[in-house]
Structures are given as structure tokens and as C-alpha cells.
Chains A and B, each alone.
Chain A
Amino acid sequence: MSNVTDLTTPPPAFFEKRKAVFPKQIDGPFRRFKWLVMAITLTIYWGTPWIRWDRGPYAPDQAVLVDLANRRFYMFSIEIWPHEFYYVAGLLIMAGIGLFLVTSAVGRAWCGYACPQTVWTDLFQHVERFLDGDRNAQIRLDRAPWTFGKLFKRLRKWAAWLLIAFLTGGAWIFYFADAPTLQQDFWTGQAATVAYATTFLLTMTTFIFGGFMREQVCIYMCPWPRIQTAMTDEKSLIVTYRHWRGEPRTRGLKKASEEHLPTGDCIDCMQCVQVCPTGIDIREGPQIGCITCALCIDACDRVMAQIGRPRGLIDYATELDCEREKLGEAAVPAIRRLLRPRTLVYLGLWTAIGVAMLFALGTRTRVDIAANADRNPQFVRLSDGSIRNAYLVKLRNMQSRPREMIVSLAGLPGGQMWRESETRAQAGRSLRLAVPADQVLRERIYVVAPATGAAREDFAFALQAADDSTEKARDEESFVRPGGMQ
């Protein structure tokens, strides 16, 4: 160990205290685009559970419904059963590759515009500005001593946030049950405990994440920024400060030009920093705190217009183009930057998975059969010398209407079958069964066959919908005999 102790340097801090961020109001094309995205995403979030979709008398009429209790997932005309959950896995993979695609093309667009953390933080900040005033007023209020007036303003703000948070957390549960019914039950205290618990939990997370933690969630809690720093490269269009154009930063332009000092376009007005919702300085280069919301572009463009310089000192640009521009060459058009092998590969993958899923979805059958043979005993010798096996057969009817299905024996010559509730006198090569809508019918079926034959003879239960001969399914099974009759 070192025996020399330097007492002049301060002890290392083990954590960093959050620096409060008071983003300034700004207007501009990107801000207006963010308004639009916010309106769309919030409308989707709050509106979706209330869309109705008629599926007939045997299925719920909610367009998007995750019915955990009955293990069904409804999305408009698509109904997914638990064993088809790979469609959801496929959607998640598409979402993942979609993020890769977007990130490699235009950086953290998801973070900047569509991420719920961004959307709700943005909403909360608007509420904050509406109630407490813009940046400077907020800073004054923050520094002011705790008076009755400040307490009132704080409580007013928190109440507004809490209301939004409650509406947010409360809307989530409508995705998991019939929305109008659940709303009524919720207010009359008859909803399930889990509905109240979920609402409470999501209200609190929305309130805390959107009101207090904000950029801390993006910088410290979210893994995505770390992944994205590896996904963007020098050809990605990201929010960039044109270093070569801005430096050296000059505060007093007039004075500097009189003294013939070199001047850059950046007048160090700090507008880009003040509008930043995560409180960073984009001029320090790409960094983990930048969610590429592009508000600094709006801020800088206004200033550039005021001082009569071209827009785009801060702009969507690639690192390579900045290098080229610095050397006086023309930048590559954005469209060519977007269409490069890497993005095209991502796009191809994304499209291929999407098309494959659509194809699978279009060709899937809505009937299925699965049989389980009795194992104890595996076989029973009957008084006429024949051998009986028993199977628990499950028939899946994945449509929202009752259906007649025909189960027949494929193979097993001389074999016959009958239901447990029937007698052998009713045995035949096939059975006609009524399967209730959207249900699995469990039927114990006896199969009898002559004792002569292989000890294990393969056959199949073949299923066919009575009203549609194209809907078929099979389950391969074995018929077991005692040691193969002599």
C-alpha cells in the first residue's frame, strides 16, 4: 500500500448528487414533431382498450385484450393461444431489430421521441412549466425558502402529476380485462385486488419516474443507452454539434471582429443547454445523456437566424460528414447515409421476420389434436382376446364458435375406438365430437385392436373439422400390445 497520503485532494465521492434540470420552453420544427408523436402515442395508449371489435357471442368484443385469466391474447382479428406465444416472441424480435435499424440509421430516435419515459417526462415538464412558469421562474422557486406560497405551488404541481400518473397507471389495467366493465368495477370497489395493486404501482412509478427521476432513468437505469452507444457508428445520423463551424466560441462578436480575432458561429448563448431535458451540453460531443430529442437544434437554429448565420450549427449529421465538411467537401446526402448495407441488412431481416410471421399467421389451422396414452396399464386384454389401449385426447377449437370435429384412426388395421362415456357396441373407425367455442375438449378414448401385430404399432389420430375439410391436424401415437402376441 502507499504510505504517502495526499490530503490536499478531496476524498472521492461515492455517488453523484442529481443536478436539477429546468428545461426551457422552445418552439421549432422538432418540438412540433415531438408534440405530434406525443399526441399519437398517448392517444394509442389511452384509447386502445376502448376500441370494440365484434367477435360473436363466444369471445370478448375488446379489440386489444390480454386475457390472462383465460390465457387468450386478442389483437383485432388475431387471436393467440398460449402455445402460439412465439408470435409474440416474433413481435419482440421485430421490435428489437426495428430498434437496431432505427438506431443505426438515426441514432436514439426511440429515446428522443417515442420512449414512454421521454413522452411522460415531456408531459410532466409541460405541466410544470404551465403551473410554475418557465426555466427562470422554476429556478427561482426552487431556490426560494419554504413559504406557504411555495408549498402551495409544490402541492399543486404534485397533485397535477399524481392525477396524470393515476390516469396512466389506471389505463394499463384496461388491457387485461373488458375495459367498460372493469372501469365500473374499479370505481365501485369490485375489481380484483391485482387491478388496484397494479394501478397503485404504476401510478407511483409514473409519478416518481416522470416527476423526479426523469433523465436519471435514462442515464443510470436504462440499459438501452449502453447498447446504443455500441449500435451507432460514424455513419449514423445523430444530433451533432458542428465543431469545425462553431469553434472558437465567441461571446462578443462585434468586439472580436474589430480585434480581428478568429470567431466561430457559436456565441456561447447556452440556449442548447437550457432547453435540454437531460441537462447536457451537446457541444461536448456524443454522450450517454443525449437522447437525441433535437430540441437543441430548434434552440440553436433560432439563435443562428437572429445573428444572421446559416442554420444547422447543431443538426442531425454523421460524424463522417462533419469530417468532410471540415475539409471543405460536400456532405453525403442524408438519403445515401440512410441506405447503406448495415441498415439494409437490418431492414431485410425485419421484413423477412414480419413476412414469415404474416405467412404463418395466414396459414395456421384453428384446430389441433393431442393425445396422451395411458401408461398404467399400457394395455388391457379383453375377454375376446383383443387388446385395448386408452388415450386422453385433447381437441383444440381455436375459433370463437362451437365446431363439430371428426377424429379418425389413421393406420392400425382392425382397430376401433369409442369414448369412455359410450360402450364398445358403439365403437367405430371415427368419432364425431362437438367442441365448444374457443375451448379444449378432453375426451378419454378407448382403442381396441386384434392381439396379433407388433408389440408397438404406430398409428395416428387424424382430426378434421366437419365443416371445413382443409382444417386438419394429426397426432402420431403408438398402440401397445403385450410383448407382441405369438
Chain B
Amino acid sequence: MNNQVHPVREAIKHAVLILGALIVILPFYVMVSYSLKSPHEIESNTGGFFGAQEPMVDEYCVKLGNPRDACVETPVVYNYTQAFKKAPLLRYLLNGILVTASIFIIQVLVALPCAYALSKLRFWGRDFVFGLVMFCLLIPVHAIALPIYIMLAKIGLTNTYASLVIPWTISVFGIFLMRQFFMTVPDDLIDAARMDGMSEFSIIWKVMLPTAVPALLAFAIFSVVAHWNDYFWPRVAITGNRDLYTPPLGLREFKGDADGSIWGPMMATATIIVTPLIAAFLLAQRRFIEGITLSGMK
């Protein structure tokens, strides 16, 4: 295999890769650019990336009876303040954080003890339970959405925070992953802890948990990314109660208003929702790629 770089071939490869990169980046460019521009610039497709940032008059603010001078803003300020004013975006973001964090914490509380028992404790029926875990890995979450919705509706739990969290409390994938990891932890470590008089319960949280931090971190990324971005389940579970909207549901509301001036604030909202994960990804790429492709270990 020749290792010398053929300059023309190398240039062609880069040209293809750059073309691909431009197509991949295009919607991100559109999103950020339009979140900076005035409605007029958006409709006429002018102003370059940043827009001219000429002060504009907020007509709605004038309609409310404010003096014209007090309603003048630059487009970027207008878009981002409107994003928070037209809809309770802050509330949606907090809902998103609350739901995502609750899901992850409950998943860990359920999965870690189970994974520990399946990997380090001997008891009758253990293989059967592990078989159950392997079987449940086959069930895609989208296939249980409808019956879960019916069950939640029957017990009156739709349109609650609980309904957003309950279907995700069990992560068989998390159990499987943590079990595989615990199998590699030496038994001596656990025996030593037992000698010291530790209960099995505290062994999980004081001995096993600290050794599992890398695996747990990868699982955290896997879980948080999936549920922060999830749209299907919140759409199904939450019908109408805006106080419970997660960020994607909140963003989707913008589409209802056909008014042209909404595009800027809508793109600002999209930018605000997408940025946290993208920023975290750029800071810790390795870990993120590891976490997202975790399902590759199935």
C-alpha cells in the first residue's frame, strides 16, 4: 500500500468532503443567520449572514400603545427577546431540564442495583431475569407508546410531568450496559467491602458506582441527548397543557402562527434549543460520540 500523498487525488477528496460539509452545515447557517435578521431581510433574502442590524420598529409594541421611539430595537435583540416573550420559552427549557434529569436519575436508580445483582450476586432465577432483559432489548420504544398512552389515560396521568417520565424509567439497555461493565470489576473488591461490614446496598453506591463513572457518563450522554431532543413521546403525552411543554413542543407551537414576523423569533428559539447539546458536543466530542454510538454495543 503506498503511503505517499498524491496531491491531485488529495485535493479531490477534500473538495468532496468540503461540499458535503457545506450541505451538512446549511440548515445550521440558515437557523443562526435568520435568528439575527429582521423580518424584511428574511422575506427578501438579503443582508448576508448577520443582516444589516438596522434598528426596526416592533409594530406589535406600537399597537400596545407605546410611543414609537420606545419600540425601536435591532433585529437580533428583537428576535431573541421575542423568543422568550411570545412563548414561555424559559419555562419550556426548565421543563426540558427537569424531565431529562428525572429520567436519567430514575434510570440509574433502577438499573444499577439490577445490574449489580445480575453480575455479582447468585440467586435462583438470575439467568431468567437476564433473559428477560435481553428479550426487552428487542422491544422498540415506539411500539409501546400507544398502549402506554392508553394506560396513562386510564389512570388519568396524561398531561402530567409523570407521563413524560414514566415510560422511560426502565432502560433495559442501561441494565445491560452496566451489567457488562460490572462483570469486569474484580470480585475481591466486593469481598473486601463485605469484610468491612458494608451492606450490599451500600456496596452498590459506594463501591460499584465510583468504578462505573466512565460507563455511567457515556450512558448519561446517551440518555440526555435522546430525551432532550425527543418529540414523539411529549407530542403524544401532552395535549394542550402548555405549562408542561418541553422545548421541542414549544418550538413547534410557532408554526401555528402564520404571521411572517415570527420567523426570526422562531429561528432564535431553535438556536437556543439546539445550542446546549451542540456546545457540549464540541467541548467533549470523544465522549459524546462514544455515548451516542453506545447502542452499537447491543
Say if A and B assemble together.
no
Residues of A at under 8 Å CB distance from B? none
